[in-house]
Amino acid sequence: MIIWIRRAGAVGLGIVFFVALVTTLAVQAADSTVARPDFLADQLEEADAYAFVIDDLVLALLQDVWRLDAEEFGWEFDENPLVASGLTPEQVAAAVRRALPPEDLERLLAPAVEQVGAYVAGERDEATIRVDAAAHLDALVTELNDLMLESGAYARLIDREFRPIFAEWVDEGLPPGGEDSRWVGFLRGSGGGEAGGSLVRVFDSVVTPEWVAAQVEDAAEELVGYGVGRSEGFEVRIALTPAQVEEAAAEIEAVIREADAFDIAYETVVEPVAEERLAEAVELPYGIVIARPDVLDALRDAISPEWLDEQAAILAAGVATYVTGQADAFVAEFDIAPARDRAARALTAAASGALRDRLQLLPQCTTAAQAAVARETLRRDLPACLPPEAVLDDVVRSADPVIAAAVGESVLAPVPDLVSYSEQDLRLALEEDGGPDALVALDDVRSVFGESWTYTDADLRADLADDEDALELVDDLRAALSTGYDIETPDALEAAGAGTGGVWLPALVTAILLAAVAFLGGRSWRGRLVWAAAVLLVAAAVIAVVSGPVYQSVSGAVLDEVRGELASEPGDRFAVTSDLLVDKLLEVVERAVDDFTAPIARISLILAVAGAIAVVAAFFWGRLSPGPAREQP
């Protein structure tokens, strides 16, 4: 009875031995694989990971980005700007490869990978990840910028995306109007009804591919310098050069001057002032009435084309310098005194002609008394009759000074010698023509030309203030690219690691358990050998089968199922990239698991063979040993 109790205990210990043997083999496999400092580096090398990243992953990512919709870029693009550039993912991927070949990527990352491997293996309590990529980032910026410029990508982007955005912006601020929209029309120019009008010419004169390339290069230099720790801050500044501002002002001046000079100089500046100050009608001597339209027509006719062109040029220049922010104010003065004098003479002549017509209608005086009254009245007024001796030419000639004096004093005196037009007049006129949006557009244009758009590291941190993870990621990335990002072992992990004894401790426990099985199950040395060998054979054989054929047949199906679970869904924005990355990661995992299970299968098979040999040896023990009788197991 006792022997069966002992053997039942031996079976129970055999199960515990099986668990201990699995643990020992797993620890030994881990010690020869994942616990090796160079295991991670070896896996990346075997997977050709660096070439995969540069040659395959970058291209897949670019192909996904090329498929994004225009709204994904956060601006008012009509289409994906990368597609609009005319470049292909293959061209950009080739530029990336020229700037950072796979072998250079390996040289950059290998030291950090080795430190991380030693950290994971427990040989280091901390690891420093530092990627000295400054030179390659600078080279990448240069490669991409040169590619964009030389291939005409910047020119295509300007033509297909940036110019339409500018034109739409102009139309929102300066909507095409009717005949009353004078300054809106002047600024928009004769664009043939196209979006943005002639102001698009101003955009073309300033935004050139070379200028865009220079802005991109300067911005990238600031950002790369900040990222790799060359500077503690950055300032991205987009600004126009003085020469560009001058060119823009000249183009705006040309757009304005292309309008009718009469509309610009007379109807916009002179006529409003004259109309405001002139009376509706003025009664001259002799009962002649001059209405305001007659005066305005006389002023209009008195202005010479040469004078109009000169004044229009002065006004256009003043408006252009103000719009481009070169001046905060402008005053264009129009000397209309000569025109006013010519208009006075014309009005006097017209009034004299009207007087002649009225005199011709008067009857002859029939009495001396009527003639005397008529002579006195003719000094300033129209008499009831005309004296017999009166000659019309003489009467009109004598009345001219009176009429001329009245025209000068009563009609044209309110009209000033100088009419000035300032930025305040322009703003008022724009607001009347285009509404408040026109003033907003004007101020926006002035800020673009007169100021620079800047974005600094302080702005970046302010934008990320509500996202601590993103801010921490920026700091960690800067550290990794400059001084190094340090990884320290957590206290709990360090304590757990301090309690491990390597492979020898589970191996010792396993050996003790096997010995205990032998001594519990057998009553003789032969019996003990049989029990130990049999338990070892069964346990090792099971482990060998599971880690060998069973694993090989099951692992493929498991990986396929995992791959199916991780496969991208239809409509995913980065489907090509994610599928390619999943395939590569599963390939690495499969190789790592194969490396882990291989020593388990190999050693367990050796132990199973050893157990089988020991069983056979125990079986033949009695036959090979001399003695009168066989030992009982």
Query: Which segments of 522-571 does DSSP mark as H helices, in order?
Result: 525-545, 551-566
Q: Residue 500 pLDDT more than 50?
A: no
| H/E stretch holding 606 | helix 575-619
Contacts of 403 (CB under 8 A, 6+ apart): 284, 285, 286, 288, 348, 351, 352, 355
Paired sense of beta strands 235-238 and 289-291, if any: unpaired
Q: Average pLDDT, stretch 221-229?
A: 89
- Residues 97, 54 contacting (CB under 8 angstroms): yes
Distance in angstroms (rounded) separating the CA atoms of residues 264 and 453: 33
pLDDT in tens, 140-178: 999 999 999 888 888 888 888 888 888 887 877 777 665
Q: Return d(Cα 453, Cα 238) in angstroms, integer.
A: 5
Give the pLDDT of residue 494: 44
Q: Which of 3-12, 45-54, 159-168, 624-633 has the highest mean pLDDT?
A: 45-54
Residue 528 pLDDT > 80: no
Helix 199-206, helix 163-173: angle, nearest 10: 140
| pLDDT band at residue 521 using 50, 70 and 90 as cut-offs | low
How far apart, in whole angstroms, are the C-alpha atoms of residue 39 and residue 121?
Answer: 9
How far apart CA 484 and CA 128 sit, in angstroms, is 6
The residue written with tokens 């491990």 in the block is 500
d(CA 444, CA 45): 55
What is the distance in angstroms between the CA of the first residue and the CA of the last residue of the chain? Answer: 15
Instruction: Report pLDDT for 6.
Output: 67
What three-state secondary structure class fits 487?
Answer: strand
Q: What pLDDT, on a 0 to 100 scale, did the predictor assign at position 622?
A: 56
Q: Is 419 helix (H, G, I), strand (E, B) or coil?
A: strand
Which two structure tokens, joined as six digits, stand for 270?
A: 């002179």
98 versus 483: the higher-pLDDT residue is 98
Q: Is the dihedral of CA 559, 565, 566, 568 positive or negative?
A: positive
- The mean per-residue pLDDT over the stretch 439-459 comes to 83
421: which strand partners? 332
Continuous segment of H or E residues that includes residue 153: helix 153-157
**What pLDDT is recorded for position 150?**
87
- 575-619 and 551-566 helices, crossing angle to 10°: 160
The answer to whether the CB of 296 falls within 8 A of the CB of 307 is no
Q: Which helix (H) or strand (E) holds 111?
A: helix 102-120
Domain boundaries, the chain: 2-35+504-624, 49-239+466-488, 246-443
- What number is the average pLDDT over the span 382-397? 86
Q: Which helix (H) or strand (E) holds 337?
A: helix 337-360
Mean pLDDT estimate for the chain: 82
pLDDT of 55 reads 92
**481 has pLDDT over 70:** yes
CA 284 remoteness from chain centre: 70
pLDDT at 629: 45
pLDDT value of position 242: 87
86-116 pLDDT, tens digit each: 899 999 999 999 999 999 988 888 887 877 7
- CA dist 220 and 214 (Å) reads 10
Q: Say if CB 339 and CB 273 are below 8 A apart.
A: no
Name 604's Cβ contacts closer than 8 Å, sequence gap at least 6.
21, 25, 540, 541, 543, 544, 547
Which residue has better confidence, 614 or 425? 425
Q: Please, are residues 218 and 472 in contact by the beta-carbon 8 Å criterion?
A: no
Count CB atoms within 10 A of the CB of residue 192.
7
- The residues, any chain, with a CB within 8 Å of residue 395's CB and separated by 6 or more, are 355, 359, 378
